[in-house]
């Protein structure tokens, strides 16, 4: 028997499972792929529909009140999820653009080095590979186990020639949580800055960017903040932002944007100096709707429920004789569970044929439960993977 919410009767195992009814994809699929793309919730869809109505009815006139306010509201609410004030938040269309804008502001003359790890998402690393012809040197800290990177190894790689340490809060192929306060401290001890790609953490793991002491922290809508494509934010610590001047620019970064003076550029005093051009309003509104779930539930409850689901999934996989690639302790784990698979792409296709949405990464099927998932989703996914292995 299936309830209206799409949850099988008797399987409402946690207090957030009722939210499942607001994510229509569960009506005919089991969704276990939030770490690739968060599913579209009713509230996000409603916000976009409202935006389209306003656009249709008012056109550009809406810029001067509702849309301008929507941008300010999003900066404030993004700040809220990482405990940071609105003036430390810049909006951007992708992590790549946000990192590239920060990269443009660094002075590599006496500090040509940038330290990354072998587990970081490539787009973060490419920023500095692309600057090698300008003298930028990339230092890649290897992961000994392909799950995490010891902070001590990162610290050892930083020296007086290091401009920046750029790494992840949650590693995208293992779900391991990095100690970003320790990374920031190691960077600052050598006079370097610290940038954190938190795309895989903000929304599923509590984050306090100011308390962690990082200089930059980037996350956004695509995954755990349920806001879809095309909208991210870049937190920039106030003192760091004020002393860095980007060498790429757009009119949204200009302090007096509507002066339209082509002869002079004066950047915003705050994080908005890292903004470039007109934001995608549909994406802004999807994110405002998606954030409602995160804010309403709150990070402690989200973390509690997803951590429980992760341990359930790891234990059930273990019962099948599988050894998921996850961090050693539950505290270091997040909602990305890598199930070993001989042919991950084929296994994911087999799951898809059974209406289960997952993702493949080298050597593994990647499953990522969130607050709308239930234990029965794990049972179904693991059973189908077992059936696939056995023929
Ligand atoms: C950790 C991480 N960083 C960055 C990205 C993507 O960056 P961009 O917004 O440039 O596509 C992803 C995945 O899409 C990711 O998992």
User: Which residues in the chain show pLDDT less than 50?
Assistant: 1-10
**DSSP summary character for residue 323:** -
**Distance from Cα 41 to the centre of ligand 1, integer Å:** 21
From the CB of residue 189, how many other CB atoms can be counted at a distance below 10 Å?
A: 10
Residue owning the nearest CA to atom 13 of ligand 1:
36
Tens digits of per-residue pLDDT, 227-282? 999 999 999 999 999 999 999 999 999 999 999 999 999 999 999 999 999 999 99
Pocket test for ligand 1, best of 38, 95, 195 (most atoms within 8 A of CB): 95
Q: What is the pLDDT of residue 2?
A: 41
Q: Which atom of ligand 1 is nearest to the CA of 232?
A: 9
Asked whether 121 lines ligand 1 (CB < 6 A), one says: yes
Q: What gap in Å lies between CA 68 and CA 83, rounded to an integer? A: 23
Residue 152 exposure: Cα atoms within 13 Å on the Cβ side: 1
- Answer whether 123 contacts ligand 1 (Cβ < 6 A): yes
Close Cβ partners of 12 (under 8 Å, ≥ 6 residues apart)? 3, 18, 374
Of the candidates 15, 329, 340, 345, which has an alpha carbon nearest to the alpha carbon of residue 173? 340
For residue 372, give both structure tokens: 């709308």
User: CB count, 10 Å around CB of 152?
Assistant: 10
Q: Is the CB of 359 under 6 A from ligand 1?
A: no
CB-ligand 1 contact for 172 (6 Å cutoff): yes
DSSP summary character for residue 169: S
| Confidence (pLDDT) at 142 | 98
The answer to whether the Cα torsion of 29, 35, 37, 39 is positive or negative is: positive
Ligand 1 pocket check for 194: Cβ under 6 Å: no
Out of 121, 125, 126, mutate this one to test ligand 1's pocket (max ligand atoms within 8 Å of CB): namely 121
**Cβ proximity of 304 and 292 under 8 Å:** no
- The residue to which tokens 């653009």 are assigned: 97
Distance, CA of 262 to CA of 179 (rounded, Å): 44
Question: Which residue's CA is minimally distant from atom 7 of ligand 1?
Answer: 95
Contacts of 120 (CB under 8 A, 6+ apart): 166, 167, 168, 171, 197
Residue 231 Cβ inside 6 Å of ligand 1? The answer reads no
| pLDDT tens-digit map of 335-371 | 999 999 999 999 999 999 999 999 999 999 999 999 9
Residue 170 Cα distances to 101, 243, 245, angstroms: 22, 28, 28
Tokens coding 252: 């949204």
By C-alpha distance, which of 128, 196, 130 is closest to 162? 128
Cα–Cα distances in angstroms (integers) from residue 235 to residues 85, 197, 240, 275, 291, in the given order: 9, 11, 11, 11, 17
- Ligand 1 atom nearest to CA at 200: 1
Per-residue confidence (pLDDT) for residue 5, from 0 to 100: 38
The answer to whether the beta carbons of residues 170 and 128 sit under 8 Å apart is no
Per-residue pLDDT at 13: 73
96 lines ligand 1 (CB under 6 A): yes
CA of 95 to the centre of ligand 1 (A): 6
Percentage of the residues of the chain whose pLDDT score is greater than 70: 97
Cβ partners under 8 Å of residue 304, min gap 6: none
Strand ranges across the sheet with 364-367: 337-340, 364-367, 359-361
Question: Helices H, strands E: what count in the chain?
Answer: 12, 12
Q: Pick from 244, 214, 253: which is nearest to 91 by CA?
A: 253
Sign, Cα dihedral of 5, 319, 303, 31: negative
Give the C-alpha separation, 16 to 230, whole Å.
27
């Amino acid at each position: 028997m299936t309830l209206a919410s799409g949850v099988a009767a008797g399987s409402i195992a946690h207090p957030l499972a009722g939210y499942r009814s607001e994510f229509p994809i569960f009506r005919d699929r089991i969704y276990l792929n939030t770490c690739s793309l968060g599913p579209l919730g009713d509230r996000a869809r409603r916000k976009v529909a409202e935006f389209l109505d306003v656009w249709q009815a008012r056109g550009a006139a809406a810029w001067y009140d509702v849309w301008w306010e929507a941008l300010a509201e999003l900066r404030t609410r993004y700040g809220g999820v990482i405990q940071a004030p609105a003036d430390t938040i810049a909006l951007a269309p992708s992590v790549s653009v946000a990192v590239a804008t920060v990269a443009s502001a660094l002075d590599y003359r006496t500090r040509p080095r940038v330290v990354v790890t072998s587990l970081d998402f490539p787009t973060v690393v490419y920023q500095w590979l692309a600057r090698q012809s300008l003298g930028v040197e990339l230092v890649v800290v290897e992961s000994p186990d392909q799950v995490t990177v010891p902070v001590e190894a990162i610290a050892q790689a930083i020296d007086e020639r290091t401009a920046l340490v750029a790494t992840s809060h949650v590693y995208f192929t293992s779900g391991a949580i990095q100690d970003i306060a320790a990374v920031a401290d190691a960077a600052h001890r050598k006079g370097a800055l610290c940038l954190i790609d938190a795309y895989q953490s903000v929304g599923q793991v509590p984050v306090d960017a100011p308390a962690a002491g990082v200089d930059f922290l980037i996350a956004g809508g695509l995954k755990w903040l349920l806001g879809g494509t095309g909208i991210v934010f870049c937190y920039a610590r106030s003192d760091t932002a004020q002393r860095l001047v980007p060498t790429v620019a757009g009119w949204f970064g200009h302090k007096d944007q509507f002066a339209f003076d082509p002869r002079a550029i004066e950047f915003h005093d705050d994080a908005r100096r890292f903004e470039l051009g007109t934001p995608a309003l549909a994406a802004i509104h999807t994110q405002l709707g998606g954030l409602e779930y995160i804010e309403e539930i709150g990070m402690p409850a989200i973390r509690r429920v997803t951590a429980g689901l992760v341990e359930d999934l790891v234990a059930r996989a273990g019962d099948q004789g599988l050894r998921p690639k996850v961090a050693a302790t539950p505290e270091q784990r997040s909602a990305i569970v890598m199930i070993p698979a001989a042919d991950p792409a084929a296994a994911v296709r087999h799951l898809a044929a059974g209406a289960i949405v997952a993702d493949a990464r080298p050597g593994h099927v990647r499953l990522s439960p969130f607050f709308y998932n239930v234990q029965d989703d794990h049972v179904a996914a693991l059973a189908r993977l077992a059936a696939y292995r056995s023929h």
